[in-house]
């Protein structure tokens, strides 16, 4: 790896958001080298990082964030840590919360400790989620969560992310550690694991298989294109104060049913392919976070905030990469 002026450590870079983030950093920050540290769990996809190795400013490290010894030498070199590695699937957390406790909570504390104790100064950006706030009712569309609202997570996944979010805040309060927290809305875009709604539905529809929609499908999610999440994370690195907590959202609230209809239309399929399945236990009704603090304090604006445009770009990527989708959707 070449000696650029700065080295940034990205965790979970073979996953969805961080593989896009690494490309974004390498394309926009010529003075930054990236170390991608990833354990390559079922969610870590080698296809997501194919081609990056040719870049002299990129290095892949196959390691688990819970292995302090393995992480240590890479942390020592880093002036910024972007921590995205996580168990990220709500349904899996309902089936078995244990890996979520281990990676998301314990793993984050191990990284926080290393970031604090290794020689040198570094900023630690923890990528949290809007799910830490819990949910909102459908009949109060005027409500959205602000950073000062209490954390009331409702799934094991959300609770593990909220725990790590609080531990990251505690590291700032107790030790004065330079920690910044990004509470991100639902991301869409290229390279998302097909266990998640959009790529899963696209993969199914391409094979004329039904798409499983939980309950009445009226659950509302707050969507942001992954490119906008990437630019928000860089804005936080550049401009957020130590200890800052920021919602990251483009304010695109869409029900799962409307999203499904949009996907059916984009792929020229009929409604008969919608299969209503039993409600997810404790299924959150509506997510909505207010990102005005991020816009105001960090001069950030989303560039893909128009909803049909963000979805079209995403669908086009999956259609243009059928090999990626086929391999990622294949049962492991």
Ligand X SMILES: NC(=O)c1ccc[n+]([C@@H]2O[C@H](COP(=O)([O-])OP(=O)(O)OC[C@H]3O[C@@H](n4cnc5c(N)ncnc54)[C@H](O)[C@@H]3O)[C@@H](O)[C@H]2O)c1
Binding site for ligand X (CB under 6 A): 11-12, 14-18, 38-41, 43-44, 64-66, 84-88, 103, 107, 127, 129, 161, 184, 186-187, 193
State in angstroms the smallest separation of the CB of 191 from ligand X.
Answer: 8
- Residue with the CB atom nearest ligand X in the bound state: 15
The C-alpha atoms of residue 305 and residue 308 are separated, in whole angstroms, by: 9
Q: Is 130 part of the annotated catalytic residue set?
A: yes
> Toward ligand X, which CB reaches closer, 142 or 166?
166
326 is catalytic: no
Catalytic: which of 58, 126, 133, 157? 157
Task: Please say which residue, 99 or 210, places its beta carbon nearer to ligand X.
Answer: 99
- Give the 3-state DSSP-derived string for 232-301, with helices as H, strands as E and coil as C: HHHHHHHHCCCCCEEEECCCEEEEHHHHHHHHHHHCCCCHHHEEEECCCCCCCCECCECCHHHHHHHCCC
CB of 46 to ligand X, least distance (A): 10
Whichever of 77 and 269 has its CB closer to ligand X, that residue is 77
Could you say which of 130, 165, 227, 284 is catalytic? 130
Cα 165 to Cα 43, 131, 222, 245, 295: the distances in Å are: 22, 11, 20, 9, 21
* Two structure tokens written together for 210: 């039904």
Q: Of 46, 29, 91, nearest to 191 (Cα)?
A: 46
Q: Is 126 marked active-site? A: no
Q: Closest separation between CB of residue 268 and ligand X, Å?
A: 26
Which residues does 272 contact at the CB level (< 8 Å), separation at least 6?
Answer: none
Lookup: tokens for 329: 């959707």
In the bound state with ligand X, the residue whose beta carbon lies nearer, of 42 and 176, is 42
CB closer to ligand X out of 127 and 264: 127
Report the nearest approach of ligand X to the CB of residue 224 (Å): 8
Give the count of beta carbons closer than 10 Å to the beta carbon of residue 193: 18
Rounded least distance, CB 164 to ligand X, Å: 8
User: Looking at the annotation, which residues are catalytic?
Assistant: 130-131, 157
């Amino acid at each position: 790896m070449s000696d650029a002026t700065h080295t940034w450590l990205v965790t979970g870079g073979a996953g969805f958001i961080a593989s896009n983030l690494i490309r974004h950093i390498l394309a926009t920050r010529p003075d930054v080298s990236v170390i991608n540290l990833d354990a390559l769990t079922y969610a870590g996809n080698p296809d997501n990082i194919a081609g990056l190795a040719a870049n002299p400013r990129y290095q892949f490290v196959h390691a688990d964030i819970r292995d302090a010894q393995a992480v240590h030498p890479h942390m020592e070199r880093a002036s910024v840590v972007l921590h995205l590695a996580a168990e990220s699937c709500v349904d899996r957390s309902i089936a078995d919360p244990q890996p979520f406790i281990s990676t998301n909570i314990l793993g984050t504390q191990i990284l926080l400790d290393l970031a604090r104790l290794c020689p040198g100064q570094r900023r630690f950006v923890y990528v949290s989620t809007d799910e830490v706030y819990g949910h909102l009712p459908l009949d109060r569309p005027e409500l959205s969560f602000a950073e000062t609202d209490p954390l009331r997570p409702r799934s094991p996944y959300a609770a593990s992310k909220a725990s790590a979010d609080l531990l990251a805040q505690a590291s700032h309060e107790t030790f004065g550690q330079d920690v910044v927290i990004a509470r991100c809305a639902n991301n869409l875009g290229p390279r998302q694991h097909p266990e998640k709604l959009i790529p899963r539905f696209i993969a199914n529809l391409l094979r004329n298989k039904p798409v499983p929609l939980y309950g009445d499908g009226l659950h509302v999610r707050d969507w942001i294109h992954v490119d906008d999440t990437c630019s928000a994370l860089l804005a936080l690195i550049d401009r957020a104060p130590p200890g800052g907590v920021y919602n990251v959202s483009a304010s695109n609230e869409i029900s799962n049913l409307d999203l499904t209809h949009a996907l059916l239309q984009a792929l020229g399929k009929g409604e008969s392919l919608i299969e209503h399945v039993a409600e997810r236990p404790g299924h959150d009704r509506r997510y909505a976070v207010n990102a005005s603090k991020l816009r105001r304090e960090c001069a950030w604006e989303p560039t893909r905030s128009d909803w049909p445009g963000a979805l079209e770009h995403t669908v086009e990527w999956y259609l243009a990469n059928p090999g990626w989708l086929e391999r990622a959707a294949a049962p492991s």
